[in-house]
Structure 1
Amino acid sequence: MFNAEVKRKLEAGETVFGSFFKVDSPQIAELYGLAGFDFLIVDAEHGCFTHGQIENLIRTCERVGMSTVIRTPDAAEANILHVLDSGASGIQVPSLRSAAEVEEVIHRAKYWPIGSRGSARGCRAGGYGTMPDYEARANAETLVAVHVENREMVEDIEALCAIEALDVLFIGPGDLSASYGHPGNASHPDVTAAIDRVIEVARGRKHLGTVVANAAQLEAYAARGVRYFAWLNDLGLMRSALNAAAANFAPYRDGAK
């Protein structure tokens, strides 16, 4: 009882488009789906969500044909278990620093024989006990993504690519810039070299993802084999729309007209 379309499309060689989602608003989630987005990354790392709110957002996304990937606060077993039991299409785990830590994420996200996720067929993802093949489906269809956002993960890229059940390596240019000592400067040669290294090693072995803010960034990354895109986030998009609307008011301020 979960939407696995984002993983199916990636495995079919398609490009998928999402956005980070930070506010508890089913209405805005529906608008994303109606606009044609493939998935949302519900940001439980930097956003403020309860388990119930996340489950309702998952339901909402399913209604408009979108997959829901949850950026968990961390790699804790309980955080991974809750969102997957609620029917999330997958997880996107931040703040990892080695392939060994990623192996632990896989272990917590997958059922036997791949991992040791606690079985609970009565959960929402299992159709409340109505899916006898649920564990096998969950193992095959649940997307697992991890952030490559620090020097240690870049240096461990060969080992990351060898992890069979890992689907997406999500490049985080902003955090990489801080990790390499150039916070806020993602165009610094040290940072671009790190990104180049990740793409060079992982392309064709893992699905690659990143966040983009404009068409030029999208085109440049797509040309290099990136297929999993987050277009900004809900708050940034709303801020831009509101700023554009408010610009129309400027001629009428302070008695200008």
Structure 2
Amino acid sequence: MKNEVKRKLKNGEKVLGCFIGTYSPNLVELMGYAGFDFIVIDDEHGAFSHSEIENMIRSAESVNVVPIVRVSYEPSSIQKALDRGAKGIQIPMVNTKEDAEEAVQKAKFPPRGSRGAAYSHRAARFGKDSGKSFLDASDENILVIPHIETLEAAENFAEIMSVDGIDLAFIGTTDLSVNMGFKEEGPKHPEVQKVVNNIYRKAKEKNIIIGTVAADSSSVQDAFDKGASYVGVVAISVILNTMEKIVKENKGETIKS
């Protein structure tokens, strides 16, 4: 159960992914054919059943895209995502070292964590994989990615990232801007950018891998230039913006806000 994204990140390479918040195995396949390294199945904001997440993961594997799940706040969300075959989890609203420790506990098998062990699920090929080899491979290859998306999390960044088992930090700029009270200005507000830049600075000092979200091709490049190595675009936003541009350019209509 090798994880190509984790391998690339360890080797200092950059990876590009896509957030998908609606159930569509075909869209996952399309993203694979487009050349993305990973997809993030968004179970925080999206609408998925556990079986639908499994089908999305299956589609990702069919086109050699690494499936990551941004988990929900439901207590068993991490366990369910990993048993379905996710190669990584993104955990929203990790604000403290204790939050990060809890995420690692749920993602890793004993003695490193407290993830429940079973071999009848899809991640273990329904029993074809089992025992120490499967448990160790899972612990080694699963990506555990906390979201840094509040001022509290930014202030506790070093402590959060000191937790053994955390692989990289994902900066959620939209939530951060809202948390800081800049609902109108959003992530571009100077105070938000000051906090974000400080996170990048700390990450560079401690050799911590940074991930973030981007809106389009130019902002992907901006994120890479700033120091991110793991960047995801939001599929539905890119599709909407592209379709609106086609309408505007060919019908001469003003795009509705």
TM-score when normalising by structure 2: 0.92
**Matched residue of 2:41: which SS?**
strand
**Shift of residue 215 of structure 1?**
3.6
Residues in 2 aligned to 1:247 and 1:219: alpha-carbon distance in whole angstroms: 26
Residues in 1 aligned to 2:239 and 2:186: alpha-carbon distance in whole angstroms: 24
Partner of 2:9: 10
Q: Residue deviations 1:143-178, cap 9 Å, x none?
A: 011110001101101102211210121111111111
Letter in 1 for 2:105: H
Residues 192-203 of structure 1 aligned to structure 2 (within 5 Å):
192-203=193-204
Partner of 1:255: none
Q: Residue deviations 1:211-247, cap 9 Å, x none?
A: 112343223322232100002x121122123213323
Partner of 1:156: 156
User: Are the equivalent residues in 2 in contact too, given 1:45–1:71 (CA < 8 A)?
Assistant: yes
Q: Report the RMSD for the aligned CA atoms in angstroms.
A: 1.7
User: Are the equivalent residues in 2 in contact too, given 1:51–1:82 (CA < 8 A)?
Assistant: yes
**Shift of residue 4 of structure 1?**
1.4
Residues in 2 aligned to 1:3 and 1:47: alpha-carbon distance in whole angstroms: 27
Q: Residue deviations 1:5-47, cap 9 Å, x none?
A: 1111111111110011011111111110000001111111111
Q: Residue deviations 1:84-109, cap 9 Å, x none?
A: 00000110010222111110010001
Residues in 1 aligned to 2:248 and 2:180: alpha-carbon distance in whole angstroms: 37
Count the aligned residue pairs.
249
User: Are the equivalent residues in 1 in contact too, given 2:215–2:237 (CA < 8 A)?
Assistant: no
Residues in 2 aligned to 1:59 and 1:223: alpha-carbon distance in whole angstroms: 33
User: Are the equivalent residues in 1 in contact too, given 2:174–2:187 (CA < 8 A)?
Assistant: yes
User: Are the equivalent residues in 2 in contact too, given 1:3–1:67 (CA < 8 A)?
Assistant: no
Partner of 1:109: 107
Partner of 2:135: 135
The answer to whether the aligner puts 1:234 opposite 2:235 as a matched pair is yes
Letter in 2 for 1:157: F
**Structure 1 gap segments, 5+ residues each:** 253-257
Residues 210-225 of structure 1 aligned to structure 2 (within 5 Å):
210-225=212-227
Partner of 1:42: 41
Residues in 2 aligned to 1:97 and 1:229: alpha-carbon distance in whole angstroms: 21
Same amino acid, percent of matched pairs: 33
**Matched residue of 1:223: which SS?**
helix
Match of 1:207 among 201, 206, 209: 209
The answer to whether the aligner puts 1:70 opposite 2:69 as a matched pair is yes
**Shift of residue 205 of structure 1?**
3.1
| Larger displacement relative to structure 2 (128-137 or 53-62) | 128-137
**Matched residue of 1:126: which SS?**
helix
Residues in 1 aligned to 2:252 and 2:75: alpha-carbon distance in whole angstroms: 55
**Matched residue of 1:54: which SS?**
helix
Q: CA separation of 1:39/1:51 partners in 2, compared to 1, >3 Å: closer, same or farther?
A: same
Residues 74-89 of structure 1 aligned to structure 2 (within 5 Å):
74=73, 76-89=74-87
**Shift of residue 121 of structure 1?**
1.5
**Structure 2 gap segments, 5+ residues each:** none
TM-score when normalising by structure 1: 0.92
**Matched residue of 2:213: which SS?**
strand
Residues in 2 aligned to 1:210 and 1:33: alpha-carbon distance in whole angstroms: 20
**Shift of residue 187 of structure 1?**
2.1
Q: CA separation of 1:181/1:251 partners in 2, compared to 1, >3 Å: closer, same or farther?
A: closer
Residues in 1 aligned to 2:16 and 2:48: alpha-carbon distance in whole angstroms: 23
Residues in 2 aligned to 1:251 and 1:135: alpha-carbon distance in whole angstroms: 58
Moved over 6 A (4+): none
